[in-house]
């Protein structure tokens, strides 16, 4: 398997980086929910959830850049760079790729507002951050729908695990928020 721009090398890279991005994004969402839900234990302080959430989100950006880069560089499918940011800009698998673009745009908004959180103020930052609950499912849909690895069992299993993890953690968050009592 040669790594030339005509061979399947870039295609493998795209799929690999895409999958890693999804896993990291899921981890980031889980940690974000744990932070908001004030999860803590003897060995897991609150700042750990928040710190990891922040760092993993930046890692997501890094792998996303690789994912986009390998996709655009792959001449087998002529996907322009604009398709990474603008929906409906690609002729190849227009619908599913557009979802990817939407997820990326949302992610950029989340990260940008978080970097200037102090200047933005907590209220505005928080309202934008709700978009995370839109970003993640759109990214999952993009990954499943793009179809390349849909039939591969382990990829499917991994995606399902991500979905279950987020559902379970969200349920935990809703249940603990509904419980009355002072902040602890």
Binding site for another protein (CB under 8 A): 35-36, 38, 40, 45-47, 50-51, 117-118, 121-122, 182-184
Give the separation between CA 72 and CA 67, rounded to whole angstroms: 9
- Give first-to-last CA distance, the chain, whole Å: 55
Nearest CB to another protein, comparing residues 153 and 184: 184
Beta carbon of residue 115, minimum distance to another protein (angstroms, whole number): 11
Nearest CB to another protein, comparing residues 45 and 80: 45
Beta carbon of residue 182, minimum distance to another protein (angstroms, whole number): 4
Beta carbon of residue 184, minimum distance to another protein (angstroms, whole number): 5
Count of other CB atoms within 10 angstroms of residue 1: 7
Beta carbon of residue 46, minimum distance to another protein (angstroms, whole number): 5
DSSP states of 32-79 as a string?
A: HHHHHTT---SS--HHHHHHHHHHHHHHHHHHHHHHHHHHHH-SSS--
Beta carbon of residue 45, minimum distance to another protein (angstroms, whole number): 5
Positive/negative CA dihedral, 116, 121, 122, 127:
negative
Nearest CB to another protein, comparing residues 20 and 111: 111
Positive/negative CA dihedral, 16, 138, 92, 148:
positive
Nearest CB to another protein, comparing residues 54 and 92: 54
Nearest CB to another protein, comparing residues 38 and 150: 38
Contact (Cβ atoms closer than 8 angstroms) between residue 141 and residue 93: no
């Amino acid at each position: 398997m040669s790594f030339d721009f005509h061979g399947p090398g870039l295609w493998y890279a795209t799929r690999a980086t895409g999958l890693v991005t999804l896993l990291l994004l899921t981890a980031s969402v889980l940690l974000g929910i744990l932070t908001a839900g004030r999860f803590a234990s003897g060995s897991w302080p609150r700042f750990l959830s928040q710190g990891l959430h922040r760092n993993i989100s930046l890692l997501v950006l890094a792998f996303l850049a690789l994912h986009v880069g390998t996709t655009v560089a792959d001449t087998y499918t002529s996907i322009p760079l604009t398709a990474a940011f603008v929906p409906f800009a690609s002729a190849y698998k227009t619908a599913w790729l557009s979802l990817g673009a939407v997820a990326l745009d949302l992610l950029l908004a989340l990260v940008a507002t978080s970097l200037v959180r102090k200047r933005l103020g907590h209220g505005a930052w928080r309202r934008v951050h709700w978009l995370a609950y839109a970003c993640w499912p759109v990214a999952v849909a993009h990954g499943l729908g793009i179809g390349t690895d849909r039939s591969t069992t382990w990829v499917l299993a991994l995606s399902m695990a991500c979905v279950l993890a987020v559902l379970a953690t969200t349920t935990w968050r809703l249940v603990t928020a509904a419980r009355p009592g002072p902040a602890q």
